[in-house]
A and B are shown apart, each in its own frame.
Chain A
Amino acid sequence: MLPNERFPKLPHALIVLGVLCLSVGSYLGLFVAPPEHYMGDVQRIMYVHVPTAWNALLAMTFAFAAAIVSLFKADWKWDARMEAGIEVGVLLAFLLCCQGAIWAKPTWGVWWDWDPRLTTTAVLLVAFAGILALRHFVDDPVRRAAWSAVATIIAYVDVPIVYYSVRWWNSLHQLQSSPATVSSQFYLPLRLNAFGVLFLMSGFIMLRARIASRRIATELAPPPQDLLGELA
């Protein structure tokens, strides 16, 4: 019933590991890596921004996969995992939008731009926040599981369509860099932070899934015996 109860301390270990990676990576990114030639120190936000972006997408992909499994396999574990994935994904997408705005103001001169990646992230954020609201407003656990899985699948399929439609509409965002085009001084802190956020995210999802499955367990539990006696 309860996920990863075999390793009860695993999420905590992952969170500690994630904080360690993030500390070392951010130290390297803030103090050791040289400032970028054109953008200067502003570019250092990339060391958290890019890992957040990767992991936000990863968390939502995890939620999508969990939605498919929970729709076809009657197992509450996957419903709890989906809820955890959506919630952590929404949190990361929100952080992503904030970091993007902080970076965009000094670089582009505006807080927000209607660039495909930005707009798609914002659309994803509201779409998945809507699913969390849906889960909140449906009391029957069976319906809640089926409906939020359906809504997650529908919202996730929308992502590439939103991306391409906004891309045709307008574009300004930086092209992606790859390790081949970036010096090791830049990508070492980036990688460390990426793994840091990944560990943190996995730990959070596991803990959140535990909370969710415990709530489902109480919802599905038969009413206490004394209550049944009173009714009879």
Chain B
Amino acid sequence: MINALHKELLLQWRTRAQAIAVFVFGATSLLLFSFAIGPSAALRQYAGGFLWLGLLLSSTLTLSESFHAEMENRALEGLLLLPVSARVLYYGKALANTIQLVLLGIALVPVMVVLYDAGTTRIPTIVLIILLGSAGISAPGTLYSAMTSQARAKQTLLPLLLFPLIVPVLLASVKATSLAILGDPMGQGRSWIALLTAFNGIYWSLCGLLFDRVVED
């Protein structure tokens, strides 16, 4: 499992130019969202929502690329022949995708603060939400990416399958982030973080269980 994670991270490090391009894409979408609303105080109110939409759109780029290396020269079949279960490959890849999304999310926060005047002192909470939200996107995202990278029309299929599924993650992350930025007098942030944790618990175990069925032939 550590080896699988190491392999993924090494791959990602060697293609870091792509990660930078994805960051620029995310920052561009944050810039565009502000044009949709216009310059007003409302921007600060919706900052959390825009941050997560930007991260979600960027995630489809990183996730759809995550099985790219395995598809070349049928490397996936070689990996499956290794004396480890396919589950290990899944968790390695899902963890690597989570790490990539977390870094992207943390990099997008300053952009959000500058563009939307959404400064906050609750940095640890924001980082925790980004961690849980990214994990929630990556768990089903990695599984679907394994399917769609071998199907036709993969660019359309991945978001089509993934977006409806992660509605709870999006809702909870946006709510929790907005509460962290705008203040949380009722202490509601906790229950949204609990919901994120529950979603992660369910999907990290369920997708790990089902991954064998996706890659075996």
Contacts and interface: CB of A to CB of B under 8 A. Distances in A.
Given A151-B147, A165-B195, A166-B171, A134 B161 contact: yes
Interface in A120-134: 123-124, 126-127, 129-131, 133-134
Contacts of A158: 164-165, 167-168
Interface residues of A, number: 33
Contacts of A138: 147, 150-152
Residue among A71, A124, A158 with max Cβ neighbours from chain B (10 Å): A158
Contacts of A161: 168, 195, 198-199, 202
Contacts of B165: 127, 154-155, 158
Interface in A51-82: 71
Interface string A95-135: 00000000000000000000000010001101101110110
Contacts of B199: 161
B37 interface: no
A105 B147 CA distance: 40
A62 B168 CA distance: 24
Contacts of A187: none
Contacts, number: 91
Given A142-B217, A154-B206, A137 B152 contact: yes
If over half of B's interface residues share one DSSP class (helix, strand or loop), that class is named, otherwise mixed; here it is helix
A158 B167 CA distance: 9
Interface stretch (B24-32, B78-86, B207-215): B207-215
Interface string B173-197: 0010000000000000001100100
Residue of A123, A138, A154 most packed against chain B (CB within 10 A): A154
A71 B210 CA distance: 10
A149 B168 contact: no
Given A147-B147, A165-B195, 8 more contacts: A119-B167, A126-B164, A133-B160, A143-B150, A154-B140, A154-B207, A154-B210, A155-B165
Interface of A: 71, 119, 123-124, 126-127, 129-131, 133-134, 137-139, 142-143, 146-147, 149-151, 153-155, 157-158, 161-162, 164-166, 168-169
10 contacts: A71-B213, A130-B161, A134-B161, A147-B147, A153-B210, A154-B210, A157-B202, A158-B167, A165-B167, A168-B192
